[in-house]
Chain A
């Protein structure tokens, strides 16, 4: 049975490559039962989005014009 620490590894990996079917299943199973990990999963996704957002903000109006 995967614990929270192991689950965060998969959550992180998910931001960098596609998970295998088995990885996806065990992560999903863990997330179903664990609220803190669900929050962590969202936070990792938000960190990823923050990077994109930062690049977008650097370009300012330029990005909006494209």
Chain B
């Protein structure tokens, strides 16, 4: 574990150096991140221009949810997304061999090798939005709330990672598509709003099959002090289950991987 943490730090350092070569783009990226958050808030405002609750959530609650969404999206764009297209290329060209022969876990390597730093701004903006939502609501979370929030946020990160990894692993078979991440984002969009909004089979699907409910909703509810132990435990369980599944799937895919020349 310690060793992997050190390797991750090393990835971090090399990517940071790489990114410093493109310093001039920083301002543009900063602006586009602010623009993105601004538009998201504006969208919520358009909805609340016509109503005062959405799936049982008030304006401030939805802002907190949006903040969590933005934070998680930032995390995806920071660590996961940059690696997707590269794996596709490795599989297509057969250069995955180089990674498989390295004395590091291949799944770890392909998912964290490339990092895009300026996306950390999105995480900061997301946190800012969460705080703004709390201020709007005049609610100060207790220590227990924050603890529960952190646990469920961690589960959602694991969950996102597993779902992402499963999608990425399909690239061993589907190499015609240049950007599979598009599929993930389409699904991820559903977590932008309260899950209570969805009805019937759609809600069941988004809670149990593709656990969107556990990604943004559970942490938001926890932060607002409405957590319960069972849900939190459930979120940890589901995250663990999905991580195990994605691991199995990766192994299975590797077994069927035949390098480029064979």
A binds B: no
